[in-house]
Amino acid sequence: MISQYLIGGIMPELASPVQEPQTIIEIRPYRAGWQCFEGPGVEPYWTGENGMQSAIDYAKGAKFGPGEIRVLSKDGSVASVIAFDETTSRM
């Protein structure tokens, strides 16, 4: 017999025994430019009118597993999200 459980009217996704960690890269305003925050100590910084796009291009060019690039606004809220996985890690 197969049993299905509903939680709040929604059937949960099947749990994967091995889940890859998700990489989150933040592009955020920093001083007079934009910072690409990959992790502690890995925070390259760009200035000028194309600073934000340069930071996004840098993040897109990095090879990572599944995850996303979050572009933050000056107040720290998420302004946009660019998702990537193993097949699009070079976007």
- Is there a domain that residue 52 lies in? yes
Task: Say what the pLDDT of residue 88 is.
Answer: 47
CB 33 within 8 A of CB 51: yes
Helix or strand or coil: residue 45? strand
Domain ranges, residue 45: 23-88
How many whole angstroms from its chain centre is CA 60?
Answer: 10
Q: Which residues pair with 30 in a beta bridge?
A: 33
For 11-15, 49-53, 66-70, which range has the lowest pLDDT when averaged over its residues?
A: 11-15
More confident residue, 20 or 6: 20
- Is there a domain that residue 7 lies in? no
pTM above 0.85, yes or no: no
Q: What is the total count of domains within the chain?
A: 1
CA atoms within 13 A on the CB side of 23: 18
More confident residue, 1 or 52: 52
User: Any idea how long the chain is?
Assistant: 91
Helix (H) or strand (E) holding 3: none
- Give the residue-averaged pLDDT of 6-10: 51
Task: Say what the pLDDT of residue 53 is.
Answer: 93
pLDDT digits (tens, 9 = 90+) for 17-65: 565 667 888 999 988 899 998 777 778 899 999 999 999 998 888 766 6
Specify burial of residue 59 (Cβ count, 10 A radius: 0-12, 13-18, 19+). buried
- Is there a domain that residue 3 lies in? no
Locus of tokens 């910084």: 45
